[in-house]
Amino acid sequence: MSALKLGPVRQVGYVVKDIEKGIQEWLNLGVGPWFYAEKVSVQDFQYMGKSSDMQMSVALSNSGYMQIELIQQRDETPSLYRDFLQTCGEGIHHVSHWVEDFDEKSKTLFDLGYTIGHSGNIGRKNGRFAYFLNEKLPGTIIEISEMSGFKEKYFKSIAETCLDWDGSDPIRR
């Protein structure tokens, strides 16, 4: 049995310049349907410890048990998404671990020398997320996402819908 300190990776996040084009490319591969929010409300967003009002769009789907997230930042506010586009272009940005014990998992990463690049709260109560960086793993961003309440139910319903998707209604706004 594996002794994963954070649990399994549950999501791969991609940063894109054009989210609708990104959705179409994944649809061409048979991944869908996509649950698309043009404006995602992020509370308490911080980049490198400073408050920010970053605006983004997000699309979610599942390929089997793995959630695929597409993110398009809608402004030039400082964030790890903006930094990634400027230095790397589009592509895989982070892997995410979904956790119930957010504070404990954050402490695990802090103890291993990680720092928070950006963080916030999505999905009402218990929707915290944080992206962790470590110079020992350059180019690697690890997200932990608090999974309970609304966000847990929403992500579960996306996964269930994708398992039985018949190709109809490919983009659900």
Domain ranges of the chain: 9-163
Sequence-distant (≥ 6) Cβ neighbours of residue 152 within 8 angstroms? 98
pLDDT grade for 149, boundaries at 50, 70 and 90: confident
The predicted model gives 36-43 an average pLDDT of 94
Of 126 and 158, more confident: 158
pLDDT tens for each residue of 55-106: 999 999 999 999 999 999 999 999 999 999 999 999 999 999 999 999 999 9
Give the right CATH number for 9-163 from 3.40.50.720, 3.10.180.10, 3.10.28.10, 3.40.50.2300: 3.10.180.10
